[in-house]
Amino acid sequence: MASVAWLNGSPADTALAFSRGLHYGDGVFRTLLKYDRQIIDIDGQLEKLAADSAVLDLRFDGLSPLRQEIFDASTNLDTGVIKVLLLRAGAGRGYRPPAESSADRLVLCYPLPAFEARCWRTGITATKSDFTLAAQPQLAGIKHLNRLEQVLASRSWPASSDEVILRDDGGRPICGSRSNLFWLQQGVLCTPLLNRCGVAGRMRARILTLAQQLGIETRIEAFEWHALMAADEAFVSNSLIGIWPLRQLDGQVWSAPGPMTADLMRGLAHPTLSFL
Amino acid sequence: MASVAWLNGSPADTALAFSRGLHYGDGVFRTLLKYDRQIIDIDGQLEKLAADSAVLDLRFDGLSPLRQEIFDASTNLDTGVIKVLLLRAGAGRGYRPPAESSADRLVLCYPLPAFEARCWRTGITATKSDFTLAAQPQLAGIKHLNRLEQVLASRSWPASSDEVILRDDGGRPICGSRSNLFWLQQGVLCTPLLNRCGVAGRMRARILTLAQQLGIETRIEAFEWHALMAADEAFVSNSLIGIWPLRQLDGQVWSAPGPMTADLMRGLAHPTLSFL
């Protein structure tokens, strides 16, 4: 018999029903902001997508056709979210990937989430999560489709909190559930090393580059939790929000945005700042 | 604008394109053998599916309707593989799941892979993988859709090998890339404890039950690698193959099947034995 796929009792589209992306999370993705008809940082995003693909030995036909496809798919989107997924082609039977792995390209457009201006203006409240990120150096830093840890971490989240901060198996701060984590300590910009767990966002890379342009020293280390708690100011970042200052994390309260965070927000000039 | 989904440049089926199963691997699955119009162990499989769903706080409308759907979807399949996936319903924007999470049901039918009779008859050759499984106690044992570790482990696999044996971060043996692992030591059936990593297959549970019925003592422990190497006989299992004796693993060579493995294979009476 031919292969059969039923979704909720009705025949399903087989292209995705048998996808290795669905069956194994065998793929990578990026989340892009389109704002006022501009796709922010598209070249940097696509370069990181290509780098992450290479870790999984996942090939696709060049960045230019994908770039064009993203523009075409989002032509009617003025402002919103574009999510680009590369899924290893071939049906999901057997973990072993084909020797020559090409990628299926999935481009999705969504409305922009309804963020509140207070998140930029006076900062967010975060909570230390009890959920521990597993150490998997071979997948650390890359934005792949195995994201159950983020789902579990997001599940138990106080209503008063805007984000949870996740730690590694040694209790070290790593990232937010959907953001990267930074703080300032005596004028030095600090962010966790992501060689054992965590996702290295493009906004994280852009902030690190910006800091150097502004003459701010940076440290990327396996910091202990108390280093974060002793910070002078702190913030989280991702490609949709840019920077959200941290106003409160467990017992610690910061002025938000702190002066250097405000400098970085101005320097970044992320378009969602116009919500202020 | 409405949400848009393009797959390889053409409009995609939105039900799966936006699925949390695809975006996060937010779901669970089972792989069932249908042989000569009988779905093997369907009740045990569905019970374990329900138990795994509960870990992810994923609800579905009872086992009976799902059971009927599996029968209906596979009505034209005499012998083959049925894969059942439960995917958390709701679009994949934001890791945080809806408070009341129901599941979409995906039922797929495939032909049976072309296994070789020698795998049962004289056993398989396995290799110790260099890939280390990450420790994530909150997901250990459950058959969820985050399977990139198995994909990576399967990628570098000598052509002479039928399976790779994976270890945890302490170098302890855990499982095969697509199988559970057992060995016999002075008449005791041993299998690794799966509380930090690994997947607890239904065939593993069935073999442990069968051993007790046959009066064979069992030990489920965090064994060291040398315990496996010192075994008298060894085998791997899953729901498609039943039991494959291990003939060779790195330097170690066993008679395959060993006498107690042969007893278990007979007691299990798995239908693919008829390939012998």
Sign (positive or negative) of CA dihedral B159, B165, B169, B172: negative
Q: Give the pLDDT confidence score for residue A101 in this predicted structure.
A: 81
Q: What is the pLDDT of residues B204-263, one digit of tens each?
A: 999 999 999 999 999 999 999 999 999 999 999 999 999 999 999 998 999 999 999 999
Test B25 with A25 for CB contact under 8 angstroms.
yes
Test A108 with B18 for CB contact under 8 angstroms.
yes
Mean pLDDT of B158-175: 95
Enumerate the residues of chain B whose CB falls inside 8 A of the CB of residue A1. 76-77, 80, 109, 111
Could you tell me the residue range of the domain that residue A138 belongs to? 118-275
Residue B270: pLDDT above 70? yes
Q: Is residue A181 part of a domain?
A: yes
Test B106 with A155 for CB contact under 8 angstroms.
no
B29 and B128 both lie in a single domain: no
Distance of alpha carbon B112 from alpha carbon B82, whole angstroms: 9
Q: How many CA atoms lie within 13 A of B35 on its CB side?
A: 17
A90 and A137 both lie in a single domain: no
Is A7 at the interface with chain B, CB within 8 A?
yes
Q: Give the pLDDT confidence score for residue A94 in this predicted structure.
A: 84
For chain B, percent of residues with pLDDT exceeding 70: 97
B167 and B223 both lie in a single domain: yes
Distance of alpha carbon B142 from alpha carbon B195, whole angstroms: 10
* B5 CB-near residues (< 8 Å, 6+ apart): A106, A107, A108, A109, B11, B12, B13, B14, B17, B18
Enumerate the residues of chain B whose CB falls inside 8 A of the CB of residue A109. 1, 3-5
Residue B100: pLDDT above 90? no
A159 and A235 both lie in a single domain: yes
B224 and B257 both lie in a single domain: yes
Distance of alpha carbon A98 from alpha carbon A257, whole angstroms: 49
A225 and A176 both lie in a single domain: yes
CA distance A174 to chain B (A): 16
* A164 CB-near residues (< 8 Å, 6+ apart): A126, A127, A128, A129, A131, A153, A154, A157, A176, A177
The tally of domains found in chain A comes to 2
**Domain final residue, candidates B63, B89, B110:** B110
B92 and B127 both lie in a single domain: no
Q: Give the pLDDT confidence score for residue B15 in this predicted structure.
A: 87
Q: Give the pLDDT confidence score for residue A235 in this predicted structure.
A: 98
Q: Is residue B2 part of a domain?
A: no
Angle at CA of residue B162, ends B138 and B178, nearest 5°: 20
Q: Give the pLDDT confidence score for residue A185 in this predicted structure.
A: 98
Q: Give the pLDDT confidence score for residue B25 in this predicted structure.
A: 97
Distance of alpha carbon B31 from alpha carbon A84, whole angstroms: 29
Q: Is residue B5 part of a domain?
A: no
A105 and A125 both lie in a single domain: no
Instruction: For chain B, give the mean pLDDT.
Output: 94
Q: Point out which residues pair with A150 in neighbouring strands.
A: none
Q: How many CB pairs under 8 A join A and B?
A: 237
**Domain final residue, candidates B110, B126, B148:** B110
DSSP code at position B253: E
Which residue stretches of chain A have pLDDT < 70?
Answer: 1-2, 92, 274-276
Distance of alpha carbon B166 from alpha carbon B206, whole angstroms: 22
Residue B1: pLDDT above 60? no
Radius of gyration (C-alpha) of chain A in whole angstroms: 20
B268 and B177 both lie in a single domain: yes
CA distance A188 to chain B (A): 31
Is A94 at the interface with chain B, CB within 8 A?
yes
Q: Is residue B174 part of a domain?
A: yes
Residue B65: pLDDT above 80? yes
**Domain final residue, candidates A67, A90, A110:** A110
From the CB of residue B116, how many other CB atoms can be counted at a distance below 10 Å? 10
Residue located via tokens 């990327």: A220
Test B106 with A5 for CB contact under 8 angstroms.
yes
Which of B144, B132, B163 shows the shortest CA–CA distance to A138?
B132
A235 and A214 both lie in a single domain: yes
B77 and B131 both lie in a single domain: no
Enumerate the residues of chain B whose CB falls inside 8 A of the CB of residue A3. 108-111
Which helix (H) or strand (E) covers residue A35, if one does?
strand A27-35
Is A95 at the interface with chain B, CB within 8 A?
yes
Q: Is residue A260 part of a domain?
A: yes
Q: Give the pLDDT confidence score for residue A100 in this predicted structure.
A: 73
The complex's ipTM works out to 0.95
Q: Give the pLDDT confidence score for residue B92 in this predicted structure.
A: 63
Nearest to A151 among B72, B97, B109 (CB): B97
Mean pLDDT of B3-31: 93
Q: Is residue A1 part of a domain?
A: no
Report residue B60's pLDDT band, with 50, 70 and 90 as the boundaries: confident
- CATH code for the domain in which residue B231 is found: 3.20.10.10
pTM for this one?
0.95
- CATH code for the domain in which residue B86 is found: 3.30.470.10
B147 and B85 both lie in a single domain: no
CA distance A187 to chain B (A): 33
From the CB of residue B166, how many other CB atoms can be counted at a distance below 10 Å? 24
Interface test with B, best of A59, A110, A115 (most B CBs within 10 A): A110
Q: Give the pLDDT confidence score for residue A274 in this predicted structure.
A: 67
Residue located via tokens 């129901």: B102
Q: Is residue B233 part of a domain?
A: yes
Q: What is the pLDDT of residues B113-149, one digit of tens each?
A: 989 999 999 999 999 999 999 999 999 999 999 999 9
B197 to chain A: closest CA residue: A134
Q: Is residue B1 part of a domain?
A: no
